């Protein structure tokens, strides 16, 4: 609010809320219960001055959302807050396992610090894998997700096979809701591996960065054509998993090469028959830090790309109500905004998932708060290391001082800018991103590219939510039959 707004402010009638003037017009109100209300300027002046007529449609909207002090329903709001933050009592549910750092790709944005295919020194051993599983099944979380990252996990197939089999065996006694996911470039897939993975209900996720020319420029395959090989197995797995709980999805990492072609990138996923697309902006870890001048961009450039891609996607849904093709980042925010549900995306929640929602196990048994922490360790910075599977239990690791620091730094109430932001109920910060980019796990949000991107995405969503037809498209995206996310983490 500006000085003029404050002059007309009636503290006796205005309920607790944060305010943002949307770039496209209108004033957004939000509160900690996740409710929102978009007002015109005249309505906003009425609200601030406490002159909204009781019984009017505006009064009803504000009362329902909890924006009028004299009509606050504390029992309801606290119950809603508790439901949205129920993940705080569950313990780590996502367990990232790095079976190897060997990889046959050299992607221009790689964060993992891979080694050559002949270097087996970074292969996880079966003994270490047992220790990893011991820690995973110590989690009190009723739902567990084991996700193989790398390197290319299939390069250490014996350990992947062992972990999948032994996890299923252990879970027959543990009785958890166990999901196992494989993040792979698919180049080492064969019929035997696929049959085994399907038998054990493993989900698949791969990287497809758009049309062939963009994909192959981003993801250099040392053994052939990356795009052709990925799509060969995509189509096979897509066909075999149709109608099953486990399936295949793709991730798109947006580099500078894609900025001028948002529609082409979206249509490449439509052509694959995918449920949706995840337009992931670059992260300054690993090789991307070194190649940023050639592949990177600023927040404004990404948001221009994103808005054009979203307009195209929304248009698909407006033209045909049967089309429910979505963008994953938007979908995660919309779950929070429209359904008032937490999809438990560990990168955009408060506090973040580091240590309390996810744990990452490196090939040598070293344990980190999260996969980004593990990647940073590969860059020579072990700030987010919390233990080793050879000593100590999971409870001790979750209680590690580093986890406490990460949790505190990712509470939006600890961020001076975030605590006043209208997007506080829906957003989250990443202490590791802040650490790398700004030298401080608390970060400086006014100059934070990640913050500017997420703020721009939410600006776009709330602008679109003023259109009831577009809101209908968004509501179809978050309908229960499509409540799975693309990849466990996203």
pLDDT in tens, 28-80: 999 999 999 999 999 999 999 999 999 999 999 999 999 999 988 888 888 88
Domains of the chain, with CATH numbers? 3-84 (no CATH), 90-490 (3.20.20.70)
Report how far apart, in Å, the C-alpha atoms of 25 and of each of 32, 39, 61, 304 are. 23, 9, 19, 18
| Structure tokens belonging to residue 455 | 């703020």
Bond prior to 151 in cis (omega within 30° of 0): yes
pLDDT of 489: 40
**156-185 b/e (C-beta count within 10 Å ≥ 16 → b):** bbebbbbbbebbeeebeeeebebbbbbbbb
Q: Is 262 exposed, middle or buried (0-12, 13-18, 19+ CB in 10 A)?
A: buried
In angstroms, rounded to a whole number, what is the distance separating the alpha carbons of residues 250 and 271? 13
pLDDT in tens, 297-338: 999 999 999 999 999 999 999 999 999 999 999 999 999 999
Sheet containing strand 18-21, strands side by side = 18-21, 27-30, 36-39
Report how far apart, in Å, the C-alpha atoms of 430 and of each of 176, 303, 339, 350, 488 are. 28, 19, 24, 9, 17
Residue 38's SS3 state is strand
Residue 252's SS3 state is strand
R_g of the chain, CA atoms, integer Å: 23
In angstroms, rounded to a whole number, what is the distance separating the alpha carbons of residues 238 and 186? 13
**122-152 b/e (C-beta count within 10 Å ≥ 16 → b):** bbbeeebbebbbebbbebebeebbbbbbbbb
pLDDT (tens, 9 = 90+) of the chain, 490 residues, equals 555 566 677 888 899 999 999 999 999 999 999 999 999 999 999 999 999 999 999 999 999 999 999 988 888 888 888 888 888 888 999 999 999 999 999 999 988 788 999 999 999 999 999 999 999 999 999 999 999 998 999 999 999 999 999 999 999 999 999 999 999 999 999 999 999 999 999 999 999 999 999 999 999 998 889 999 999 999 999 999 988 888 899 999 999 999 999 999 999 999 999 999 999 999 887 888 888 999 999 999 999 999 999 999 999 999 999 999 999 999 999 999 999 888 878 889 999 989 999 999 999 999 999 999 999 998 899 999 999 999 989 999 999 999 999 999 999 998 889 999 999 999 999 999 999 999 999 999 989 999 999 999 999 999 999 999 999 999 999 997 544 544 444 3
**pTM higher than 0.85 for the full model?**
yes
3-state helix, strand and coil shares in percent for the chain, rounded to the nearest 5 = 45, 15, 40
């Amino acid at each position: 609010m500006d000085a003029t707004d404050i002059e007309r402010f009636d503290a006796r009638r205005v309920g607790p809320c944060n305010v943002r003037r949307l770039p496209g017009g209108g004033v957004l109100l939000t509160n900690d219960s996740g409710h929102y209300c978009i007002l015109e300027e005249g309505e906003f002046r009425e609200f601030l001055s406490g002159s909204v007529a009781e019984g009017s449609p505006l009064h009803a909207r504000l009362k329902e959302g909890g924006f009028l002090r004299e009509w606050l329903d504390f029992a309801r709001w606290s119950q809603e807050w508790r439901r949205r933050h129920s993940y705080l009592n569950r313990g780590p549910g996502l367990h990232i396992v790095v079976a190897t750092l060997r990889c046959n790709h050299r992607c221009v944005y790689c964060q993992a610090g891979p080694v050559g295919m002949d270097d087996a020194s970074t292969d996880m051993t079966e003994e270490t894998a047992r220790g990893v599983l011991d820690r995973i099944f110590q989690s009190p979380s009723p739902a567990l997700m084991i996700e193989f990252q790398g390197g290319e996990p299939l390069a250490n197939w014996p350990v992947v096979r062992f972990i999948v089999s032994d996890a299923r065996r252990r879970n027959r006694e543990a009785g958890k809701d166990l999901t196992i996911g494989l993040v792979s470039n698919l180049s080492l897939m064969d019929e035997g591996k696929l049959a085994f993975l399907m038998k054990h209900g493993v989900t698949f996720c791969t990287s497809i960065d758009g049309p062939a020319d963009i994909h192959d420029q981003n993801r250099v395959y040392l053994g052939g054509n990356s795009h052709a090989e990925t799509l060969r197995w995509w189509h096979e797995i897509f066909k075999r998993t149709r109608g099953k709980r486990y399936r295949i999805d793709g991730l798109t990492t947006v580099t500078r090469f894609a900025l001028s072609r948002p529609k082409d990138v979206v249509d490449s996923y439509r052509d694959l028959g995918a449920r949706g697309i995840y337009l992931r902006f670059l992260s300054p870890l690993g090789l991307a830090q070194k190649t940023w001048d050639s592949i990177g961009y600023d927040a404004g450039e990404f948001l221009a790309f994103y808005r054009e891609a979203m307009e195209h996607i929304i248009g698909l849904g407006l033209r045909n109500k049967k089309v429910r093709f979505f963008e994953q980042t938007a979908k995660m925010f919309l779950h929070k905004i429209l359904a008032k549900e937490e999809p438990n995306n560990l990168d955009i929640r408060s506090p973040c998932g580091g240590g309390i929602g996810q744990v990452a196990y490196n090939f040598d048994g070293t344990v980190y708060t999260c996969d980004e922490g593990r990647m940073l360790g590969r860059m020579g910075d072990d700030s987010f290391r919390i233990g080793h599977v050879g000593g100590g239990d999971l409870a001790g690791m979750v209680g590690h001082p580093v986890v406490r620091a990460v949790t505190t730094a990712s509470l939006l109430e600890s961020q001076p800018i975030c605590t006043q932001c209208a997007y506080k109920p829906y957003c989250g910060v990443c202490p590791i991103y802040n650490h790398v980019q700004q030298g401080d796990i608390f970060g400086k949000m006014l100059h934070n590219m990640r913050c500017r991107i997420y703020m721009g995405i939410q600006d776009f969503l709330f602008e679109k939510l003023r259109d009831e037809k577009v809101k209908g498209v968004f509501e179809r995206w978050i309908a229960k039959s499509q409540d799975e996310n693309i990849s466990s983490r996203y």
